[in-house]
Each structure stands twice: as structure tokens, then as C-alpha cells.
Amino acid sequence: MSLKVFKFGGASVKDANGVQNVAKILNAHSSKDKILTVVSATGKTTNALELVVQSYYNQDGKANEHLQSIKNDHVSIMQGLDIFNEEIAADISDTFVEIDWMIEDEVQDGFNYIYDQIVSVGELVSSKILYHRCKKEGLNVCWLDVRDVLITDNSYREAKVLWNDTQKRMDERINDLFGKFDIIITQGFIGCSTENFNTTLGREGSDFTAGIFSYCLDAESLSIWKDVPGILTADPRLFENVTKIDRLDYREAIEMTYFGAKVIHPKTIKPLQNKNIPLYVRPFNDYLSEGTLITSNVDTVYPPVIVIESGQALIHISTKDFSFVAEEHLSEIFERLDTYKLKVNMMRNTAISFSVAVQNDPKKISKLMEDLSMNYNVLKDDDLELITVRHYDDATVTRMKEGKIVLFEETFRQTVRMAVKDIPVVKRK
Ligand code: ADP
Ligand code: ASP
Ligand code: MG
């Protein structure tokens, strides 16, 4: 029997039918493999929990109301799954109890710490619901608290994995559990600091959790189950006529996700590539399909692949006295970007100016601009899109520019990237 890792995201467990379908997939696979299952919070629960955090932190009196509505949503799912009895209700309400207590108290800690303590309940509850449903179906399954085995530093909201500690904990626990059970169900996205507090790995981080398990357990493969047939030539929510790519190289996958393809978290690929573990991105509504296989040395000619990152800002920084932008300026600018954790998506310099495209986070950007404006003239363009075309051809690039003003564009090897704005529609009176 081999060990496989499966990851189910929020879309796959968004309602009772979704959870039921996941149980069906696990049932179909667990007779021949041991399956470590990583699950995300249901549907948009993490967004809803963020509202609880904000309300509590701002003390606007609505935290309880937001939390109650999240609890109700989970009760409906359990009712739909026919697992809502006294014992399971008590298990779920025990899981919420720490938040109940926290939001009763005054705010005493930093935002990011509070965020991780509250938001992590989403994955704890969804994994318990899936566990109870699988158990009801007679599967040989156990529930694992990922905080016992996935150890991180205390950088709340973007915790760094402590790989040695994590490996050691997994070695101690997982084999033993697989001695008794066919399926382990655990949580994505969350971990535990060495001081025993909840941490999170960054939004959409459950894919990365699955990569971490695959690496530490030397899994035979990782399957990430999605609401799409596999990796497509563009996001089907934004483009028509997209096609599935059957095979992708690790390198291609890491580049695509780095450029902003929202289909898998960019950090997922490295641990898999390091141990040559195949990654399948597969549709949860057609569980026999292979989806896309990501592996090493794929010998194929890729079609043009489009990645869109919206909500970008372009910051133009120029010297006040017409001196050239030199290394000392760049190092000062990058130090500031690092301080505010603004990831540079694209950059360009001229003799006296330097421009960077970053995610448009108004609070961080205004702090950055304030700091830099002491020594530089600083301007900002809002509402930009970054368009990346990998393996481009001229026709695709021309299509991408229709109706757009291109603020800047760069081409390197098979890739074209451009920062664009919609052409304003001016109507004649
Ligand atoms: P999950 O909830 O399982 O984590 P996500 O919503 O995070 O799922 O990711 C799946 C979504 O990624 C798809 O519904 C699709 O809209 C989007 N997506 C973006 N780019 C691509 C792409 N190139 N191929 C497939 N899906 C893509
Ligand atoms: N639930 C988390 C989020 O929505 C993690 C994940 O889904 O990957 O960001
Ligand atoms: Mg996701």
C-alpha cells in the first residue's frame, strides 16, 4: 500500500453535497492506498472569520453576530449530512469555544496574533465535519490536529515552517496512525508555534500544507482536487475557450503560480520538486479523471498561457535633484518595500526614476510613499492589471492589449508581461 496525500479546498466542501462527494472520493481510493487528507475551511468561511477578527479588533459590537452566522452555516451543513447529533454538536461547539472566550475579552494583543487564533477555527471545524461524515460511512478514518505536527515560527499570518521540528513530529505520529487507520483527516493553512499558539501560512495556504505533508511523508503523489478539470490555459472565470494542459513541468507550474495564477499556492511546488513527487490537479466532480500531472522533465510544447493579476498599483519613484538612480537608492527602496512586505511583481528603471508594480494595498502603499517622499518624488497609478503571457504568440499578445493602455511591457524568453489600464471611455456629447 502506498501513501498518497489528497487536498480538498474550500470549494470542494462548500456545502453538504460537497462534503458527501469528498467522502465518496476517499471511499473510492482508500481500499488501495493510505490517504493523508488535508482540508480547507468550507466555502468562504475564512473571509467570514476575517470579519469576526475585524469586528472584535475594532470593537464594533458585531463580532458575536458574525460568529453566530458562521456557526449556523456549519450546523446546516451537518444537518444536510445527517450527522447532527448531541455528541457531534458538542465536539463542534468545543472547537469554537476559544473564540467565544476571546471575543468576550477586551483586545489585548496585536492584530495578526488575534487573526491567527480566530481564523484557524475554519479548518478545525471543516475537518471535523468531514471526519464525522466519513466515520458515518464506515471508513477507517481518524482526525489529526495539524497543530501537533506542523510547527512554525511565530510570524503570525505568514508563519514560516520549522522543517526539522515538523519532520520529527510527523515521523513520531503519522506512521503510528497509519498502522491503525486508512485515512487521516487534517487541516490545511494552520500550524502551531513553538510557544503553542495557532499560526497560519498565508491566505490560500492549504495547498502548501499538502506540499509539506507530501515532502515529510515521502508521499507517492499529491492530488489537489479542484472545481476545474485541471490547470487550464487561463482562469475560466475570466476567459472563454480555455483548454486543459495535460502535463506541466514543475518549473512551468512554479512560474505560472508566481506570476499570479490563482489555481495553486506558489509555495506548494518546491517541496514536491525537491523530492520529485508528482502533483495531480484534478476535478472533484469527476474523480476518475487524471486532470493535470505536474512532474519533472515534461517534454511538450506549451500553448500560450495567460495569467492575470488585478488590483495592482504602479509606484513611480524619481530622484528630486536629477541624480541617477543608483544602487544606494535601490537598496533604500527595497528596504522599505521589505518593511511593508510589499511583493514586487514587476519593476523598471530609467536614468532618474524607478517604477514598481505591487499589490494595491492602500495602507501599506501610503506608508511606503510617505517614507520615500522625504528623498524622492513619488507618484502612484491605481487599478492596474498585470498580464503575463507565457509561451506567447503575437496574436495572443495583441488580443490582451485590446481596450487597454499599456503602461509598461517587458519580454524575456517565452514570456511577455505588461502593466495595463482600461482605456477610459470618453463619450462625445
Ligand atoms: P480551492 O477552494 O479548492 O482552493 P481555488 O478557488 O483556490 O480552489 O482555485 C481554483 C480556481 O482557480 C478555479 O475555480 C479557477 O477559477 C482558478 N484559476 C485561476 N487560474 C487558473 C488556471 N490557469 N487553471 C485552472 N484554474 C484557474
Ligand atoms: N481557508 C484558507 C483561505 O481561504 C486557506 C485555503 O483555503 O487554502 O485562505
Ligand atoms: Mg484555494
Task: Report which bound ligand comes closest to the CA of 206.
Answer: 2
Q: Are the C-beta atoms of residues 188 and 209 closer than 8 Å to each other?
A: yes
Mean pLDDT of 20-26: 98
H or E stretch at 272: helix 269-274
Mean pLDDT score of the chain: 95
Q: Is the CB of 43 under 6 A from ligand 2?
A: no
Residue 358 has pLDDT above 80, yes or no: yes
Q: Is the CB of 226 under 6 A from ligand 1?
A: yes
pLDDT of residue 65: 97
Among the atoms of ligand 2, which is closest to the Cα of residue 202?
9
Residue 426 has pLDDT above 80, yes or no: no
Q: Is the CB of 88 under 6 A from ligand 1?
A: no
pLDDT tens-digit readout, 260-318: 888 999 999 999 999 999 999 999 999 999 899 999 988 889 999 999 999 999 999 99
H or E stretch at 88: helix 86-104
pLDDT of residue 401: 96
Q: Which of 222, 231, 235 to mutate to test the pocket of ligand 1 (most atoms within 8 A of CB)?
A: 235
Using the mean position of ligand 1's atoms as its centre, give its distance from the Cα of residue 73 in Å: 23
Whole-number Cα distances in Å, 230 to 246, 267, 309: 8, 18, 20
Domains, the chain, ordered by start: 2-295 (3.40.1160.10), 305-422 (3.30.2130.10)
| Short-list 4, 424, 428, CA closest to 214 | 4
Among the atoms of ligand 2, which is closest to the Cα of residue 207?
8
Residue 254 has pLDDT above 80, yes or no: yes
Q: What is the four-CA torsion angle of 259, 262, 263, 268, rounded to 10 degrees?
A: 60
Residue 382 has pLDDT above 90, yes or no: no
| Short-list 200, 203, 281, 278, CA closest to 12 | 281
The predicted model scores a pTM of 0.93
User: In whole angstroms, what is the distance from residue 268 CA to residue 258 CA?
Assistant: 11
Nine cell digits for residue 278: 508528482
Nine cell digits for residue 277: 513527487
pLDDT band at 129 (very low <50, low <70, confident <90, very high): very high
| Short-list 278, 166, 161, CA closest to 208 | 161
